[in-house]
Structure 1
Amino acid sequence: MKKFQTRMTAWIAALAVAWTLAGGAAAADLTEVIPIGRTAGIKMESQGLMVESIDPVTTAVGEVTPAKQAGFQEGDILLRVDGQEIDTAEALQKKISLSAGKTMEFTVQRDGKEVKLSGTAVQDKSGVYRMGLTVRDSVAGIGTITYVDPATGQYGSLGHGICDGDSGVLVPLKDGSLMESSVSGVVKGVSGTPGCLQGDFNLQEDMGSVEENTLTGIFGVLTDDSYYAGKEPVPIATADEIQTGTATILSNVSGEEVREYTCEIEKIYGEGGEYDRSMTIRVTDKDLIAQTGGIVQGMSGSPILQNGKLVGAVTHVLVSDPTRGYAVQIEKMLEEMDKIQ
């Protein structure tokens, strides 16, 4: 493995522009894929700027909130200022700083529709014009690749979407890529506090694309086959083949090693389940519990196998009990991948 350059801490979303994946069999036609269970670094640039918070600005005469007065809401996607596209937080602050107190027109995306807002920046105590907006233009972290179609390199990962942590809105994807990673440490989960994986990443070379961010995971193409070369595919379980009872999780919680750990599928929600919460699972493997406490951030996407078939992927941990969490049925991930063929 190449030397890793940067360390990051895992995130898990509790966190779309449709692009075209490489050609191949439709996901709905797939009968087998290779389960992965290996972590990867994920970096994404958003399409527009996501409004994370609306904050007061401290001026010479007290606190004011120009963004709130203009009608901004957390979760808005800021697309344009005075008709000019803005794609970085730095570009936004520069535009606001140069406004000199003149009224600006903001175009935001809200609930899938474009909304026009008008607002005027105010000077803070240092004389800099501000709107009182905290925005995000990119995200980065660690997650687990669930599966890959060896014929095309198309993969699914996470089992849930990457969302804004406060508003829960899906981050609209402009561009994204995967980086090779190695797990360098674990913050163990305890009741009331989710744990997380810590990873080292090779920022010098991408190993795949992120081409879609959806409610059931992120999808793209692995351009480097090192994660799955020589591995055998397994059958995909249909919804009626999944049973409560013993199963296994493939996960990477140390270095680059992927191990199989025991778990129990406690409940299956079927069609009534949410996008990323179609099963309740409980970790029973003593080694995994000793090392991580159970499910931790960064394990999202870890494939779940039962009776020799891929049945789903880990998505969330229960904060009150890190040995328990949720999983998505594999068919739901494949259905989403099929939409972006």
Structure 2
Amino acid sequence: LAINGIKVNDINQAARLLNRAGREPQKSILLTILRDEKQKTITVTPLYSDLDGGYRIGLYIRDSAAGVGTLSFYDPATKRYGALGHIIVDADTNKPVNIQDGNIVKAKIINIKTALRGKPGEKTGIFIDQDSFKGNIDQNTPYGIFGQLESFHPTGKAIPMALTTQVETGPAEMLTVIEGETIGSFQVVIERLSPQTKPSDKGFILKVVDEKLLSSTGGIVQGMSGSPIIQHGRIVGAVTHVFINDPTRGYGIFIEWMYQQAVDSGESKQETGRMKQGETGRPNPERTERRQKLAG
């Protein structure tokens, strides 16, 4: 978080502060860190490295992460979106990534690594910097990532959202991209539901039965997380995980939980902004009404 009381924003700034401290007579520095959601201050002493001619403290620092995922939904009324359906974790530590300044951009799928039993497949894409699709990431949660899409003009028709009690076992379709930027519709079957009264990223089990998708990808692959599931004309959920030993099957999250998180996190940001401007906290009747509607 900080070196000698100075907030650290990126790797280059951290390197400059460490080198500056290393050249001082009193070489020890104070590191402010966040560990297990608790802020701590520790003292360390940088050592000079002949290898690269700078002072080091033995830490591997990473200030960026990138990957391919799928947008699950977008609410044009609030400009809130939800994607992935699960939390983003660090590839090395397997701990949640603390996102401070994230963005989502458009991607073009250029290759698919086919999934095999015991070997997960993967989408490979290139990021496309287009003004027609820009958004931030303000929440990284167990139920997906959420934020605002300020530059997005969808051409498709909006569809209703199903509550958890309206989801059924049986045929459904999954929307995802397997080539370029074209969204395809593929047949799946919702095999089993897990009755839930509170959010979870594993609400149902689905099986891919679409022959085209099976021949192209082998089933569910990395990068499909967040792919929306449609049943009876409603969006009911999104893909979250694949079964490693059977890539034709995977888990999905109920869309109600994702939408609720998007609404709550968006209003939390607005309330925080008002509090910073000096307003007192007060109940939001619109928020209460929306929750009642979500609850059926």
TM-score tier by shorter-chain length is 0.7 to 0.9
Contact 1:153 1:221 in 2 (8 A): yes
Question: Larger strand proportion, structure 1 or 2?
Answer: 1
Question: In structure 1, the residue corresponding to 2:116 is in which secondary structure?
Answer: coil
1:328 is matched with 253
Judge which range, 235-244 or 117-126, deviates more.
Answer: 117-126
Shift of 1:97: 2.9
2:218 aligned with 1:293: yes
Per-residue CA deviations over 1:181-220 (Å, capped at 9, x if unaligned) read 2211111111222111111222364522223222211112
2:108 is aligned, of 155, 162, 182, to 182
- Once residues 150 and 180 of structure 2 are traced to their aligned partners in structure 1, the CA distance between those partners, rounded to angstroms, is 22
Pair 1:80-2:5 in alignment: no
Q: Partner of 2:277 in structure 1?
A: none
**Is 2:117 aligned against 1:191?**
yes
Structure 1, gaps ≥5 residues long: 1-78
Cα distance in 2 for partners of 1:106, 1:286 equals 55
Distance 1:147 1:204, change over 3 A: closer
Question: In the alignment, which residue of structure 1 is the partner of 2:96?
Answer: 170
- 1:203, 1:262 → 2: CA distance? 31
**Unpaired runs of at least 5, structure 2:** 268-296
Structure 2 residue aligned with 1:135: 61
**1:143 match: secondary structure:** coil
1:273 Cα deviation after fit: 8.2
Q: In the alignment, is residue 282 of structure 1 matched against residue 204 of structure 2?
A: no
The answer to whether 1:316 aligns with 2:241 is yes
Partner of 1:251: 176
1:273 touches 1:279 (CA, 8 Å); kept in 2?
no
SS of the equivalent of 1:251 reads: strand
- What amino acid is aligned across from residue 159 of structure 2 in structure 1? V
Equivalent in 222, 225, 229 of residue 304 of structure 1: 229
Q: Distance in 1 between matches of 2:199 and 2:234?
A: 22
Report the Cα distance in structure 2 between the residues aligned to 1:192 and 1:273, rounded to whole angstroms.
Answer: 31
TM-aligned CA distance change 1:292 to 1:238, over 3 Å: same
Which of 111, 117, 136 aligns to 1:209? It is: 136
Q: Does 1:151 align with 2:77?
A: yes
| Alpha-carbon separation, structure 2, partners of 1:207 and 1:232 | 20
Aligned counterpart for 1:90 among listed residues 7, 12, 18: 12
Q: Which has the higher contact order (CA 8 A, sep 6+)?
A: 1
Cα offset, 1:86, TM superposition: 0.8
1:208-243 residue CA offsets vs partner (Å, 9 max, x unmatched): 2223222211112222334x22x2222211111112
What displacement does 1:339 show?
1.4
Of 265, 269, 290, the residue aligned with 2:190 is 265
Query: Within 2, Cα distance between the matches of 1:150 and 1:187?
Result: 34
2:88–2:97 Cα contact (<8 Å) kept:
yes
Match of 1:103 among 17, 24, 28: 28
CA 1:84/1:269 → structure 2, altered by over 3 Å: closer, same or farther?
same
| Distance verdict in 2 for CA 1:274–1:195, change over 3 Å | farther
Secondary structure class of the residue paired with 1:91: helix
Determine the C-alpha separation between the residues in 2 that align with 1:111 and 1:335.
Answer: 26
Partner secondary structure for residue 77 of structure 2: coil
Greater displacement, 329-338 / 239-248: 239-248
Distance 1:96 1:204, change over 3 A: farther
Q: Which deviates more from structure 2 when the two are superposed, residues 126-135 or residues 179-188?
A: 126-135
Deviation for aligned residue 1:287:
0.6
Q: Deviations over 1:292-328 (max 9, x none)?
A: 1111111111000112211100011122221111111
Match of 1:224 among 139, 151, 156: 151
Asked whether the 8 Å contact 2:187–2:208 carries over to 1, the reply is yes
Please, what TM-score do these two structures have when normalized by structure 1?
0.71
Aligned length: 261
CA RMSD of the aligned region, Å?
2.0
Would the aligned equivalents of 1:314 and 1:328 in 2 still touch at CA under 8 Å?
yes
By how many angstroms is 1:82 displaced? 1.0
Alpha-carbon distance in structure 2 between the residues aligned to 1:258 and 1:96: 48
8 Å contact kept, 2:18–2:55:
yes
State, as a whole percentage, how many aligned pairs show the same letter: 36
Range that drifts further, 286-295 or 232-241: 232-241
User: For the residues of structure 1 that align with 2:121 and 2:199, how far apart are their CA atoms?
Assistant: 23
Distance of 1:203 and 1:260 partners within structure 2: 25
Q: Deviations over 1:264-308 (max 9, x none)?
A: 222222328873222222111111011111111111110001122
Work out whether residues 183 and 254 of structure 1, in 8 Å CA contact, stay in contact via their aligned partners in 2: yes
AA partner of residue 60 (structure 2): T
